[in-house]
Structure 1
C-alpha cells in the first residue's frame, strides 16, 4: 500500500467511524428531550426511565465521538498539510464555530446528567434540549465545510494564490444547504431506525414491554417521518449536483454517453473500459427528469469529461445504488408504520412489523456510509473541486501505511468497547426506575 492510498484509507476509516457518533449526537438528545417532556407533562415514571437510559447511552457515545473527532482534526493537518495550508484560512470559520457548538454541547450535557433533582425541572429539560440543538448545529457546520470542498467559494484563485478571502461566502457556499438538509434527515433516519430496532428486539423478547414500547414509538415515528422526507432532500441534492458536479452525477448513474431522454439506471455492473453498463434496468428519460425537471433534456455523460478528471465509476455507482435501495426500503417501512399509527392500530404491535424494524436496525447507517462514499469518492480526483487535486495535498511524510494499521486497530478496539458498554446499558434498564411503581413491567421468564 503506497502512502497516498494509505492516507486516503485512514481518512475514510476515521470519517466512516466518526460519522456514526456524530449522527447519534445530533439525534439522540432530541429523542431524550421528547421523552423527558412527556415525563414532565404526565409524571409517568416509565418516560423518566427512558430518558435516563438514553442519557447514559448519549454520554458513552458522546465521549467516543469526542475522541474520534479529535483524531480527525489532527489527521487533517498531518495527512493533508498542503490542503490545510490553503483551505484553513478560507473555511476555518465553520470549523471554529463547530468547536464552539461542541463546547456548548459538552457543558449542557454535564448540566443535564448531574441536574436531576438539583435544577428546576423545566430548566433541566432545556439543558437536554440544548444538547440536541448544539449537536445539530455542529453537524450543519461540519457539512458546510465539506460542502465548500465540493463547491469552493469565498476566494479568488489567481496564479496559484488564494486571494480576496470571504469566510462568510465560503461557509454559505452553493452546496451547503442541500448537503446539510440531506445529512440531517439521514441522521434522523439512521439513528431513529437503529434505536427503534433495538427496542423492537426487546419487545419481541418480552422484556420490559411498556418501557420498550414507549421508547420504540418515539424513535419509530421520528425515523418514519424522516425516511419519507428523505427522497425530497435527495431530489434537491441531485438537481444541485447536476449543475455543480455533472461528472459526479454521471458516475453515480454510470452514465457514459450524453443523449437526449437520458435513462435512469437501476442496478447494473459498469464496464468502464467499454463505457457501458451490463445487466441494468433502464427507465428512458427518467434521469433527465430527475436532473432537469423534464424527460428530454440531455444529461452529460462521462465521455464528455477528460479521463483524468473522472471519478471512480464503479465505487460511486455501487454506493449510490446501495444508498437508494436501502432508502426506499426504510421509506416503505416508515409508510407502513405511520399508516398503522393513524389508521390500522393492530399493525403497530404486529410481530412481523417489529421483526422488520429489527432487521432495519443497521440499514440506515449502511445507507449513510454509502451516501458519504458517493460524496467523497464522487469528487475525486479533487480535494477542492477544480482547484486542488487530492494527490497534490497529501503529506510527503513516509510510512503512512503503518499509521493506517495503527488507527485501524484503535477504531476496532473502540468499537468493541462501545458495543460492550451499550450492551451493559441495555441490561441495566430494569434498574433505571422504581420497580415498586405500578407501571414497572419486568418479565422474568
Structure 2
C-alpha cells in the first residue's frame, strides 16, 4: 500500500475514533444543562437525577477523548510535517486558545461533580453552562484548522517561504462561521439522540409501566425534542455549507453531486453511484434545477462541473455516496424528532408504539454514522490538497517507511479503548442502577 495512503488511513482512523467521543462530549453537556434547568424550574427530582447520571457518562467520555485527541495531535507532527510547518507559522492560534477552553470545561466539570449540592441553583446552572461553553469552544477551535485547510487565508508563499502572516485573518477564514456552526449543531444533535437511544432501549426492556419507565420517558422526550431541533438546524446549516462549497471549493460540490458538465438549472442527484467512465451518476433520482437553487438560491445559477478542472485534481468520486448518506441520515433524524414530539405533545399519547421505540433506539447510532460520513466527506472531498490550492497531501506527508505497522498498532489501541470504554460504562451503571426516587412504584394511567 502507498505510504501516503497509509498515513491518511492512520490519521483518519484516529480522527474517526476521536470524533465519536468529541461529538458526544460536546452534545452531552447540553443535555445535562437542559435537565438541570428543568429541575430548577419544576423541582422534579427526575431531572436532577438525569443530570447527575449523565455527568458520570460525560466524565467517562472525557477520559477517552483526552488521550485520543492527544494521539491525533502527535500524529499531525509525525505524519504531516509539511502541513505542520505552515500550521505552526500561520494557524497555531486555535490550538493555543483551545488549551484554555479545555481548562474551562475541566474546571467547572469538577466543580459540578463534587460541589453541586453546595451550590445555589443559579451557580449550578452557570457551572454546567461553562462546561458546555468549554466543550463547544474546544470543538470549534480544533475544527477551525480544518476550515482553514479549505479556505486558507492570512499568509502568502513567496519563493517557497511563508510570508505576510496575519494569524487573525487565518483564524477568521471565510469558512470559519459555517464550519463552526455545523460542528456545533451536529454535536448537539448527536448527544440528544444518543440519550434518546438509551432511554428508548431502557423503556423497551421495562417489565411494567412504573416509575423507572416514566423516568426514561422524560429523558426520551427531552432527547427527541432537542435532537429534532438541532437536526433541523444542521440541515439549514448544510444548505449554507453547499453555498460555501459553490463559492470556494466548486470541484468538491461537483464531485458530491456527480456533476460533470458546467450548467445553469443544475439538477440535484439523490442516490446512485458515480461512474467515472461514463461520467454520470447511475441509478440516481434527479430533481431538476434544485442544485442550482441550493448553491445560490436561484434556479438559473451556473454550477461548475468536474470537467472544468484537471482530472488529477478531482476529489474521489465516491464522496457522492458519503454526501448522500450524510444528508439522508440528517433528513431521517429531522423526521424522527418531529414524530416523537408530535406523538407525545400533539396527539397526547401516553406511550409510544414498539415500532417507534425501535426507531428511536436507532437514532443515536445513526447520528454518529452521519457524523462519520460528514467528516470523511469533508476531508476526502478536499483531496488531493491538504491546504486547498496551496499544498498537496503528498507534499505534506512524512517520508518515513514502515507505516503499515504503525497503522496496525493504533487499530489495536482503539479497539482496546473501545472495549474498555464499554466495559466501564456497563460496570459503573450496573453497580449504580436507577432506583425509584420516592421508593414507590407508580403505574402509568
Query: What's 2:219 paired with?
Result: 215
Superposed displacement of residue 442, structure 1: 11
Superposed displacement of residue 350, structure 1: 3.3
Query: What's 2:438 paired with?
Result: 437
Q: Work out whether 1:321 is the aligned partner of 2:324.
A: yes
Q: Deviations over 1:238-283 (max 9, x none)?
A: 0011010000001101111122321111111111123122111112
Superposed displacement of residue 373, structure 1: 1.2
Q: Work out whether 1:191 is the aligned partner of 2:195.
A: no
Task: Choose the corresponding residue for 1:275, options 250, 266, 279.
Answer: 279
Change (3 A) 1:442 1:14: farther
Aligned-pair Cα RMSD in Å: 1.9
User: Which runs of 5 or more structure 2 residues have no equivalent in the other structure?
Assistant: none
Query: What's 1:30 paired with?
Result: 30
- SS where residue 389 of structure 2 aligns? coil
Query: What's 1:168 paired with?
Result: 168
**Which residues in structure 2 correspond to 1:224-235 (within 5 Å)?**
224-235=228-239
Q: Deviations over 1:367-414 (max 9, x none)?
A: 111011111000000000000000101111211111111111001111
- SS where residue 346 of structure 1 aligns? coil
Change (3 A) 1:48 1:440: farther
Superposed displacement of residue 121, structure 1: 4.5
**Which residues in structure 2 correspond to 1:218-297 (within 5 Å)?**
218-297=222-301
Change (3 A) 1:47 1:428: farther
Q: Work out whether 1:47 is the aligned partner of 2:47.
A: yes
Query: What's 2:380 paired with?
Result: 377
Tell me, in whole angstroms, the C-alpha distance in 1 between the residues paired with 2:160 and 2:57. 48
Superposed displacement of residue 214, structure 1: 1.8
Query: What's 1:8 paired with?
Result: 8
Q: Deviations over 1:172-195 (max 9, x none)?
A: 110111111112111122221121
Superposed displacement of residue 428, structure 1: 4.3
Tell me, in whole angstroms, the C-alpha distance in 2 between the residues paired with 1:327 and 1:244. 24
Query: What's 2:309 paired with?
Result: 305
Query: What's 2:20 paired with?
Result: 20
Tell me, in whole angstroms, the C-alpha distance in 2 between the residues paired with 1:256 and 1:103. 48
Superposed displacement of residue 440, structure 1: 6.4
Q: Deviations over 1:316-361 (max 9, x none)?
A: 1110011111111111112212323442121763333222101223
Change (3 A) 1:212 1:306: same
Q: Work out whether 1:134 is the aligned partner of 2:134.
A: yes
Query: What's 1:179 paired with?
Result: 179
- SS where residue 430 of structure 1 aligns? coil
Residue range with higher mean Cα deviation, 215-224 or 147-156: 215-224
Change (3 A) 1:347 1:210: closer
Structure 1 segments of 4+ aligned residues over 6 angstroms from their partners: 439-443
Q: Work out whether 1:83 is the aligned partner of 2:117.
A: no
Q: Deviations over 1:139-165 (max 9, x none)?
A: 111121110000001112222221111
Task: Choose the corresponding residue for 2:412, options 409, 412, 430.
Answer: 409
Q: What is the aligned length?
A: 440
Residue range with higher mean Cα deviation, 117-126 or 332-341: 117-126
Superposed displacement of residue 429, structure 1: 5.1
Contact in 2 for aligned 1:53/1:429 (Cα 8 Å): no
Residue range with higher mean Cα deviation, 122-131 or 13-22: 122-131
Tell me, in whole angstroms, the C-alpha distance in 1 between the residues paired with 2:378 and 2:442. 46
User: Which runs of 5 or more structure 1 residues have no equivalent in the other structure?
Assistant: none
Change (3 A) 1:179 1:189: same
Query: What's 2:147 paired with?
Result: 147
| TM-score, scaled relative to structure 2 | 0.94
Tell me, in whole angstroms, the C-alpha distance in 2 between the residues paired with 1:65 and 1:389. 29
Tell me, in whole angstroms, the C-alpha distance in 1 between the residues paired with 2:173 and 2:301. 26
Tell me, in whole angstroms, the C-alpha distance in 2 between the residues paired with 1:442 and 1:337. 22
Superposed displacement of residue 48, structure 1: 2.2
Superposed displacement of residue 230, structure 1: 2.0
